[in-house]
A and B are shown apart, each in its own frame.
Chain A
Amino acid sequence: MLRILIGLVLPFVGVIGLIPFTNGVTWTLWNIPFLYLWIFAWFILTSVCLAICWLCFDRHRPETA
């Protein structure tokens, strides 16, 4: 199911699954650790994932179901 892949699996992989990788990044912006920058970015990316789910799949459902 592409819908679940985009809306659910992708954010979980981005936020949890990639932690072993992001935790190793020593690059900082204004000394802010990369771990925070990464998760701040996902505030927006998660919304984008859900918006794609809505626009491509769920928007076409009948209002009652």
Chain B
Amino acid sequence: MASFVFLAIIVFSLIVAFAAMRGHNMHDLKEYLVASRQFGGFLLFFLGVGEIYSIGTMIGFPGGIYAKGPTYGIWFLGYILLAYPVGYFINPLIWRAGQLYNAMTLPDLFKGHFNNRALELTVTITAILFMVPWGQLQFTGLIVALHGLGWDLNPLALSLIAAVLAFAYIAASGIRAPAMVSIIKDVLLVLALVVTGIAAAAAGGVSHIFHDAGLHVHNQMNAAQQRFSMSTMFFQALGFYLMPFAIPNIFTARSEQTIRKAQIFMPLYMLMYPFLVVAAYYSLGQSFHLASPNQAFMAAAVALLPHWLLGMVAAGAALSGLVVLAGISLAMGPLITRNLLSHLPESKQRSGAQIAIVAYLALSIIFTLVTPSLMLTLINTAYFGITQFFPGLMAILFMRRINPYAIIAGIMVADILAVGMDVMHVNLDGWNIGFVCLLINAVIVGLGSLVKRSVNSPMPVVYARISTAMRAP
């Protein structure tokens, strides 16, 4: 029954996606990506909802709490929450930069501002590479969701099913799918986590759940955990809106004021998270025998929900993973065609983009199989690279006389250091590796620009004014 409901929902979403594609050709990519910069606050708000209620939230977050207690629970909630005030101040300026430079992607901003090909390539390539852990995050979650349905196959078979679903999804639905399907997905996902949270609370009683869980996990963090939690929140809050798939959402806004208004309300839809915390603590207290902490949420759902509802929950989770994978593929298209292969003829650009997307998905699946990871750790890994764009963004928005080669050096050194330390399991006394590398990055950008000042330094975006006449049609 659970599998039937699951498959029915997946097939239904495919039909919706397919129907959405009919009548639109692939050439209105720009129209779709930045929606001609006409979205009002309400739609922006919905795009934002889709960003945080994902498979990483629903399956990853309870798994993180199950494995590491409040340390992971707190940083996860904190970094998303603090990203909103950062966005309130920064996003209107990113939008303005997008207008000035007619940008569709993050590297477009660097290209438009510095007119430096090497910097554009550095940003493009590192952005793509650090999307691999994000892909791995989706596939890991998909496998957990399928496993929760009782599809008791080995990881390779489950990964293959997840891969086939993802490829079929992206091939059949094309670029318009995410927008249409994400509405179904948002409704399902929010319903699923509220229902599971309430079921857990009803089964045990909130006070009882946290008492039982308290026997397995500390309520307080030790000094190193506290440092990790604090530095991770700060570091990842700065990178939240620099994700390659988040930037185009900003460009869809109608105006800077629309963005500010939407940001005010964003923290409020985090009010669904307490339900997930309850579900996670329920799992903690039950002493389930889990093959991986990632299964904590699905284990609670399996134990608490009737079959048809379980199918719905799994479908919501799977759908969100598929939508994100489709969304990343969608965001990668222009990164490849506009920023990486802009010198090639259009037909070669398109086949290049297709090859890159397939390679990206394949690489994500291989990593999923070879290095099984706690889902929240994958989020950390992605930010190690993505947040390193922050000093460069500050240069575009606020600073004069920053040397683009100093930005390149900062990104490269920080990325290599962070990945190196991550692979070697270096422990910096709790401090988030990416945060330490960001400080090094900022010092390199600052010193590098002092030693060799940029000759023709462009005006920081914050001083630019967009007149109505200049706005893109």
Chain A residues near B (Cβ < 8 Å): 4, 7-8, 11-12, 15-16, 19-20, 23-24, 26, 28, 30-36, 39-40, 42-44, 46-47, 49-51, 53-54, 58, 61, 63-65
Let me know if B220 and A24 touch, CB within 8 A: yes
On whether the beta carbons of B226 and A23 are closer than 8 Å, the reply is: yes
Does B179 belong to the interface (CB within 8 Å)? no
Q: Which residues of B contact A42 (CB under 8 A)?
A: 81, 267
B268 with A16: CB separation less than 8 A? no
User: Are A8's CB and B86's CB within 8 A?
Assistant: yes
A-B contacts, 21 of them at CB < 8 A, read A7-B89, A15-B82, A16-B230, A16-B233, A19-B229, A26-B220, A30-B206, A31-B206, A31-B208, A31-B209, A33-B210, A33-B219, A39-B78, A39-B81, A43-B268, A43-B270, A46-B84, A51-B264, A58-B257, A64-B256, A64-B471
A64 CB contacts on chain B under 8 angstroms: 255-256, 466-468, 471
Q: Once the chains bind, are A16 and B85 in contact (CB under 8 Å)? A: no
- Give complex CA distance A26, B277 in Å: 18
- B460-473 interface mask toward A, CB cutoff 8 Å, 1 = contact, 0 = none? 00000111100100
Pick from B69-77, B344-352, B379-387 the stretch touching chain A: B69-77
B420 within 8 A of A: no
The 5 closest A-B pairs by CB, nearest first: A31-B210, A33-B219, A30-B207, A46-B267, A50-B264
Are the C-beta atoms of A43 and B233 separated by less than 8 Å?
no
The A contact surface, by secondary structure, is: helix
Question: A44 contacts B268, CB within 8 Å?
Answer: yes
B173 at the interface (CB under 8 A from A): no
Nearest opposing residue in chain B for A33, CB measure: B219
Partner of A33, one of B70, B82, B267: B70
The SS class assigned to the B binding surface is helix
Q: How far is the CA of A46 from the CA of B458 in the complex (A)?
A: 35
- By the criterion CB–CB under 8 Å, are A16 and B78 in contact? yes
Q: Verify B77–A39 contact, CB threshold 8 A.
A: yes
Tell whether B372 is near chain A: CB-to-CB under 8 Å. Answer: no
Cβ of B424 within 8 Å of any chain A Cβ, yes or no, is no
- A20 and B208 CA atoms in complex are apart in Å by 27
B: number of interface residues (CB 8 Å): 49
With A23-B221, A61-B257: A11-B82 Cβ-Cβ less than 8 Å: yes
For residue B262, give the distance in angstroms from its CB to the closest CB of chain A.
10
Contact status B226-A19, CB under 8 Å: yes
Please pick, from B85, B221, B466, the residue contacting A65 in the complex, using a CB distance under 8 A. B466
- Inter-chain CA distance A45–B268, complex, in Å, is 9
User: Of B70, B207, B468, B471, which is within 8 A of A36 by CB?
Assistant: B70
Other-chain residue from A35, A40, A46, A63 in contact with B70 (beta carbon distance below 8 A): A35
Nearest CB on A from B122, distance (A): 28
Query: 0/1 per residue, B221-262, Cβ < 8 Å to A?
Result: 100001001100110000000000000000000011100110
What residues on A are CB-neighbors of B466 within 8 Å?
64-65
Decide: A63 and B255 in contact? CB cutoff 8 A. Answer: yes
Report A-chain residues with C-beta under 8 Å of the C-beta of B465.
Answer: 65
Would you call A4 and B89 a contact (CB within 8 A)?
yes
Complexed CA–CA distance, A8 and B82 (Å): 8
Q: Which chain B positions have C-beta within 8 A of A47? A: 264-268
Chain B neighbourhood of A16, CB < 8 A: 78, 82, 230, 233-234
Q: Return the chain B residue nearest A54 by Cβ.
A: B264
B291 contacts the other chain (CB 8 A): no
A28 is contacted by which of B219, B265, B467 (Cβ under 8 Å)?
B219
Q: Are B81 and A58 interface neighbours, CB within 8 A?
A: no
